[in-house]
Amino acid sequence: MLCDQGYAIDEASTADEALQVLGATADFAAVLTAIHMRGTMNGLSLANVAHER
């Protein structure tokens, strides 16, 4: 659905991988995440880090 609206989609399996994707992408409109995620942090922590960037 987002692709149909012209948005590029990046996926990550863990919060750590998501941080790598976010670090490589200077401009993003939204982050959709689950609360419970594998890795060193959960989705809430990921959202906080993304917000700070």
Distance (Å, whole) CA 39 – CA 3: 27
- Mean pLDDT throughout 16-44? 88
Q: Name the band, by pLDDT with cuts 50, 70 and 90, for residue 27.
A: confident
Inform me whether the pLDDT recorded for 1 exceeds 90. no
Give the closest residue to 24 by CA, choosing from 4, 2, 8, 37: 8
Say which residues have a Cβ less than 8 Å from residue 25's Cβ, sequence separation at least 6.
10
Model pLDDT, residue 18: 92
Place of tokens 């659905």: 1
- Mean pLDDT throughout 12-35? 88
Inform me whether the pLDDT recorded for 48 exceeds 90. yes
Model pLDDT, residue 7: 87
Using CA of residue 15, residue 17, residue 20, residue 22, what is the dihedral sign? negative
- The structural domains of the chain, with segments of one domain joined by +, span 3-52
